[in-house]
Amino acid sequence: MFDVICSEALATKIVSISAEEIDRLNILQATLFCMLRCLTEIELAPDYVLVDGNFYPETKIQGEAVVKGDGRSKSIAAASILAKVTRDRVMVKNAKRYPEWGFEHHKGYPTKKHREAIEKYGLSPLHRRSFQLKPLVKQDYRHSTAQLYLL
């Protein structure tokens, strides 16, 4: 589907930023920053833009944020496919640099194996340090069980 979207779309633009930049900006500001980069760097300037989510970046280009947009708009769904496939490909490529974390299997999603790798090896340079950690297992104060955290 990725190749079909790329060949059929009038224009596409994919940008990414590092985990360090996301930590510095925060996830919302990083997302808005990437949206702005796409809008300014895409070859064909759009007349109107739909973005998935609650927030639309400050720009002179008209558009709107659409909550659950990937289920309501074909263009947002297509953009979501491009983003996911690109992210998965990047994670598979990074698995060669950081084999301990098994990124080729979970693509960074919080699977059991991923959480176990983090517990064993700590965070890789790809992990965001600012991500809110959530307990996956409740602390049992009667026993000395460790809490497991999700990135």
pLDDT of residue 132: 57
**What is the full DSSP assignment across 15-26?**
----HHHHHHH-
List the helix and strand counts (H, then E) for the chain.
6, 4
Amino acid 8 reads E
pLDDT one-digit tens code per residue, 81-124? 999 999 999 999 999 999 999 999 999 998 999 999 999 999 99
Whole-prediction pTM: 0.82
pLDDT of residue 116: 93
- Phi first, then psi: what are they for 82, rounded to 5°? -60, -45
In order of their start, the domains of the chain are 2-150 (3.30.420.10)
pLDDT of residue 134: 60
> What residues of the chain score a pLDDT lower than 70?
132-151
**First and final CA of the chain: distance in angstroms?**
29
Q: Which of 5, 71, 63 is nearest to 36 (CA)?
A: 63
Sequence-separated contacts (24+) of 112-120 with Cβ below 8 Å: 115/148, 115/149, 115/150, 118/149, 118/151, 119/148
